[in-house]
């Protein structure tokens, strides 16, 4: 029996999710997919209001939360086109901003450049806060949609070889997905330039979980055996030294030639946006799952909004 343990809960970190909770959210996301495919939307959240508060740019996360709320019959306060048009530009603190928005909204989705900001917001707000990315910290709803995509594409989360490529130091989606994958019997391969390696604390967590793990600089070392190739962008916005960014940007590009060495049954994923990490010629390969992954984001966020709002 699947139980909703998310009612009125903040969603701040993937550490809140165990396999039972993941199973619950994935089952609900799957139901949301079936409902949207059959009837486009419903009135499950009619009369409920979501505040979308984005201090950093976003296309997918902001749009998919808005689409999720609207497909469930709810409404949105969209502060997503730049907080410079809100009273944040007058110096209003995050604490006061969320205490204001909760006067109008039943749930707040927050993206902010500072690690720990979602946690701070949750301390002040009395409505659920959903972390939509806190700096180089976490992006839990992205990790949920990533894991859901693996499950939908490959039919299992057990026994998989998952290779993550790119900016593993700054990529918060990598950090969050790695933490979720540790619940399962997986092998992890981390592919990055030396300066973009996975943070040591997270690598030690992986090792403590007795996960089969290896690091390499070369995609060729992992492509033949990977079930999942999770490619990420070098996060320019996290570099203080742009010369260093220039050195490592464009380090990897997944091309049809590289794909020709991969298994027939595997998936290529990317949280997007991409800036050259996957060649456009790969897009028509049936293994390219990144736009299906985008759509799964809406289903996962529908499941989360319904769950935290007790529906
Ligand atoms: N994947 C992701 O978080 O995309 P956006 O930055 O466009 O929201």
Q: How far apart are CA 175 and CA 160, in angstroms?
A: 18
d(CA 223, CA 234): 20
* Distance (Å) from CA 230 to ligand 1 centroid: 15
CA torsion 189-195-201-205 (nearest 10°) is 0
Q: Say yes or no to pLDDT of 116 above 80.
A: yes
Once rounded to an integer, what is the mean pLDDT over residues 200-218?
96
CB 304 within 8 Å of CB 44: no
- Mean pLDDT, rounded, for 63-90: 89
Q: How many residues does the chain have?
A: 311
Percentage of the chain with pLDDT > 70?
99
pLDDT value of residue 88: 82
Which protein residue has the closest C-alpha to ligand 1 atom 1?
Answer: 271
Q: Is 112 helix (H, G, I), strand (E, B) or coil?
A: strand
Query: Residue 29 above 80 pLDDT?
Result: yes
**Average pLDDT, stretch 120-136?**
95
The model's confidence at residue 28, banded by pLDDT at 50, 70 and 90, is: very high
Nearest ligand 1 atom to the CA of 57 is 6
Question: Looking at the chain, which runs of residues are DSSP E strands?
Answer: 49-54, 75-79, 107-112, 129-134, 161-165, 187-191, 212-216, 228-231, 267-269
Output the CA 293–ligand 1 centroid distance in Å. Answer: 12
- Write the CB contacts of 85 (distance below 8 Å, at least 6 apart in sequence): 79
Say how many Å lie between the CA of residue 173 and the centre of ligand 1. Answer: 10
Q: What is the mean pLDDT of the chain?
A: 94
Q: How far is ligand 1, taken at its centre, from the CA of residue 133, in Å?
A: 9
Mean pLDDT, range 26-38, rounded to an integer? 98
Ligand 1 atom having least distance to the Cα of 139: 3
Could you tell me the pLDDT band of residue 194, with boundaries at 50, 70 and 90?
Answer: very high
Q: Is the pLDDT of residue 217 over 80?
A: yes
Secondary element (H or E) of residue 277: none
Which protein residues touch ligand 1 with a CB less than 6 Å away? 58-61, 142, 271-273
Q: To test ligand 1's pocket by mutation, which of 59, 137, 269 has the most ligand atoms within 8 angstroms of CB?
A: 59
- List C-alpha distances in Å: 284 to 21, 102, 293: 34, 44, 15
Q: How confident is the model at residue 260 (pLDDT cuts 50, 70, 90)?
A: very high
> Over 90: is that where the pLDDT of 89 sits?
no
Contact 145, 178 (CB under 8 A): no
Across 209-217, average pLDDT: 97
Residue 37 has pLDDT above 90, yes or no: yes
Q: What local confidence, expressed as pLDDT, does residue 237 receive?
A: 75
**Domains of the chain with bracketed CATH:** 14-138+297-308 (3.40.50.1370), 140-294 (3.40.50.1370)
pLDDT of res. 245: 74
pTM for the model: 0.94
Section 64-79 average pLDDT: 97
């Amino acid at each position: 029996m699947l139980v909703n343990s998310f009612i009125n809960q903040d969603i701040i970190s993937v550490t809140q999710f165990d396999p039972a909770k993941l199973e619950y959210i994935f089952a609900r996301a799957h139901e949301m997919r079936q409902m949207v495919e059959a009837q486009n939307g419903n009135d499950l959240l009619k009369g409920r209001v979501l505040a979308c508060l984005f201090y950093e740019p976003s296309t997918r996360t902001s749009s998919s939360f808005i689409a999720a709320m609207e497909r469930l019959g709810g409404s949105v306060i969209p502060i997503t086109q730049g907080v410079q048009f809100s009273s944040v530009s007058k110096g209003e603190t995050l604490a006061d901003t969320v205490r204001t928005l909760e006067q109008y909204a039943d749930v707040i989705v927050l993206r902010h450049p500072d690690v720990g900001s979602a946690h701070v917001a949750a301390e002040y707000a009395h409505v659920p806060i959903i972390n939509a990315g806190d700096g180089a910290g976490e992006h839990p709803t992205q990790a949920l949609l990533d894991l859901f995509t693996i499950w939908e594409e490959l039919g299992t989360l057990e026994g998989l070889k998952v290779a993550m490529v790119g900016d593993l130091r700054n990529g918060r989606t990598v950090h969050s997905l790695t933490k979720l994958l540790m619940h399962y019997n997986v092998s992890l391969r981390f592919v990055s330039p030396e300066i973009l390696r996975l943070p040591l604390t997270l690598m030690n967590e992986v090792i403590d979980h007795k996960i089969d793990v290896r690091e390499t600089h070369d995609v060729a070392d992992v492509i033949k055996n990977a079930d999942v190739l999770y490619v990420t962008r070098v996060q320019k916005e996290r570099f203080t030294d742009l010369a260093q960014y220039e050195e490592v940007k464009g380090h990897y590009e997944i091309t049809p030639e590289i794909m020709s060495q991969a298994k027939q049954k595997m998936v290529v994923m990317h949280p997007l946006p991409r800036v050259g990490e996957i060649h456009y010629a790969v897009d028509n390969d049936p293994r390219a799952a990144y736009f299906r992954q985008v759509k799964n984001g809406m289903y996962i966020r529908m499941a989360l909004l319904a769950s935290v709002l007790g529906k």
